[in-house]
Chains A and B, each alone.
Chain A
Amino acid sequence: MKAKHQRLVLVIIAFAALIAAGAVFVWATRNQLSYFYFPEEMAAEPPAAGRAVRLGGMVQKGSIKTEADGVTVTFVVTGKTADTVTVRYRGILPDLFVEDSGVIAEGSLGKDGVFVATNLLAKHDENYVPKELEGMGTEQAAKMVTDTTVGLK
């Protein structure tokens, strides 16, 4: 084998590996992508039970309830319409998780229609808004902006 052929073989192997990586990506993302839902979307087209998705919206006022074990919390997430989704979460709440504030719940929809969250993302700090919450209603967005730009300018 000449040196030139060897170089050609190397190029082919490298491309084959990249194509393999691309194929793995396409195959894996068909069932491993986690889609983002608003409550109204989840009500209209609920994802399959058990599939990992994310739910984003506002925590309804007065809906946060702690169960008897002291670590399981349920609350209601509202969106732009009247549709709501009840979320159950077992764990320590994020520092900035409060009523009437934005939240993203990672988890899956249970068979009973309750969203079981494995992780909650609230406003991380005043400079950080989960990107998904940017698409909220104007009033909420305006509120979020005033909340999130404290001290800027």
Chain B
Amino acid sequence: MIAEIGLAALWLAAALAVLQMVSGAASLRAAQGEINPLAIYARPAAIVQAFLAVLAFVTLLYSFAVTDLSLKLVASNSHSMKPMLYKLTGTWGNHEGSMLLWVGVLAASGGLLAGFEKRLPERTMGATLAVQGFVALGFYAFLLFASNPFERLPVPAPEGNGLNPLLQDIGLAIHPPTLYAGYVGLSVAFSLAMGALMTREVNPAFARVMRPWVLGAWVLLTLGITAGSYWAYYELGWGGWWFWDPVENASLMPWLAATALMHSVSVLAARDALRTWTIMLGVLAFSMSMLGTFLVRSGVLTSVHAFAVDPERGAFILGLLGLYIGGAFTIFALRAGAVAEGKRFAVVSREGALVFNNVMLSAILAIVLLGTLYPLLTEAFDVRVSVGPPYFNPAGAIFAVPMLLVMAVGPLLRWKSDKPARLQFELALIAALVIGVIALVCFFGQFPLLPLLGLGLAAALAVAAFLPLKGRNLRRVPVATWGMVIAHFGIAVSLFGMACEGAFSQERLAAVAPGGTEQIGDFAFTLQSVTPVAGPNWTALEAQIAVSQNGGEPVILTPQARNFWSPPQSTSESALLTKWNGQLYAVIGNQAEDGRWQIRVWWKPFVTFIWYGGILIALGGVLAIAGRVRVDVKRRSAASKGAQRRADLEALGAADPVPAE
């Protein structure tokens, strides 16, 4: 019964999406200053639709919580013996559930936009909601016709199939929802961009409406990617933190586009420049979200994320992708010429630096996109190639290094036009740091080029991030500026972690008999014993490894080789010892015939900084949103006070005419 309510809610929501689309489009037909009688339905439709879509998701969540085995989706992806947390997270650990989550977030953000955004002109708002409804409608259709999450089994299954053990992890509770919310936040940016393009209202006021959505989506994408990277690092047991796997790239590409968009929308808001460029990036960012969904969900890729290989679904998403992206670029091509040019600026200026950053980000995006799609293309011609780190790392670095250098200087430049001579000291400091650190590291040993560059840049960026605060009263610095400083510093921290991991990691692989000791760096590790252990739905062989640094107090690490019994599968659980300056990473392998155990241990200096940096970057974004919202609230209250005062004055003025006599 509960599932039927969910299905009905989904159908109703789809119907409301149609209403929202029609009503929003009607507002475009209204004459200046008038309101089309049809146009008033768009906002309520979006809000009610948000409630219905969220309700549909909640009913599915409930079905998973009680393990309703008469539902096909629950029976094939859950198990009554699973821990409660993983029953719930299992809701989006499969194709249909994750698409329902996507649609739920899409509708919820559409509802938020409709409910709270009052600054935009009604016509632009109508057009935006029409686009949002159109996007939502496509995904409702996809859910209802090609991947119905509420499908019943003719006969309830006696027991569920369980969830892929790799996905039974707390990382799964966080990673997909944040990433989805980020993807979908970009859909609002897309709808706003299309709305503004259709009504030719591309101006700073529009940019200020769009900015929190872009920032919010970008923060969530940053967190989602950071969490995903850490999950892959400790769960897959390969010791790497980024594999340039197509699925990872699918989340990186929208992030790159959103980063460019976020900077360009700031220029538009502050300086009324880069109008069409911002719209283009808005379309591009959402296109990348859609492409990511297509790559991950259609089954073109085989990975832990591709839940079901079903050509019909792939074709459906590809159709939606073509419709939305093709449509958006067509409208862009037709309308972009009609958007008036923005304000001009010199090459050496804040805008100039941001344009450079945007162009470099787009180039990196192109590099990643080509590297991701090329193997898929050649496969159609039966040539099987794979594109891996040997391509992505250097090719990406060609554009990333100049971008990072300009990023160090950009925030110091003035708007509109500036003279490089004014920044002599800062430029010299940044150059000295890059060269000095690289020279210093080279002095101590031979390291690969990219980590070396990374170390030099990280040092320079860490200092440069704080230079915009120089000579300012720290208490009066706007919160949004603090956000920028912290996000840029986060990039430096992350880069430092990546470079250290690349340059200084040590690895030890050995077959160790119980009682045997091996050495890695400052650490001595002793295999004490290997014992069987059991969890709620798995059994495992657990190694006790005593690790002591420089002969100090030993710490016990317990890596496991786990065997899940539903579905039957084995995974390797790494054990981590986190120090302030790095992590020791241990994995247990097979037992050799002579009774020795394979143990693989890495010492990864400062590897944790990669994810600390990611968190700092996201924190910077949160501060930027908070700062903007605070300013906006102040402005609104000031405006309403002003209006109040004027009204009072007028009231006084009306009473003013004094009788002559």
A interface residue numbers (CB < 8 A to B): 1-4, 6-7, 10, 13-14, 17-18, 20-22, 24-25, 28-29, 32-36, 52, 54, 66, 69-71, 90-93, 95-96, 124-132, 150-152
Contacts and interface: CB of A to CB of B under 8 A. Distances in A.
Nearest to B571: A95
B509 interface: yes
Nearest to B358: A14
Contacts of B568: 126, 150
Interface in B364-398: 364, 366-367, 370-371, 374, 379, 383-388, 390-391, 394-395, 398
B395 A66 contact: no
Given A6-B344, A132-B384, 11 more contacts: A33-B387, A35-B383, A52-B388, A71-B598, A91-B600, A92-B589, A125-B304, A125-B567, A131-B302, A131-B384, A151-B567
Interface string B348-373: 00000001000110111011001100
Contacts, number: 141
Contact of B367 (A1, A21, A52, A71): A21
Interface residues of B, number: 62
B532 interface: no
Contacts of A20: 363, 399
Contacts of B398: 24
B342 interface: yes
12 contacts: A1-B344, A21-B363, A21-B366, A25-B371, A25-B395, A28-B391, A29-B391, A33-B386, A52-B388, A66-B592, A71-B589, A126-B567
Contacts of B569: 95, 125-126
Contacts of B509: 71, 90-92
Interface of B: 76, 161, 164-166, 274, 276-277, 302-304, 306-307, 341-345, 355, 359-360, 362-364, 366-367, 370-371, 374, 379, 383-388, 390-391, 394-395, 398-399, 509-511, 561, 567-572, 587-590, 592-594, 596, 598, 600
B570 A96 contact: yes
Contacts of B390: 32, 34, 52
A22 B593 CA distance: 52
Contacts of A3: 341-344
A66 B166 contact: no
A35 B384 contact: yes
A151 B387 contact: no
Nearest to A134: B302
Contacts of A36: 384-386
Contacts of B384: 35-36, 131-132
Given A71-B511, A125-B164, A17 B341 contact: no
Nearest to B511: A70
A150 B307 CA distance: 14
B386 to A, nearest CB: 5
A14 B571 CA distance: 46
Contacts of B571: 95
The 9 closest A-B pairs by CB, nearest first: A70-B511, A92-B589, A36-B384, A3-B341, A21-B366, A95-B570, A32-B391, A21-B363, A17-B363
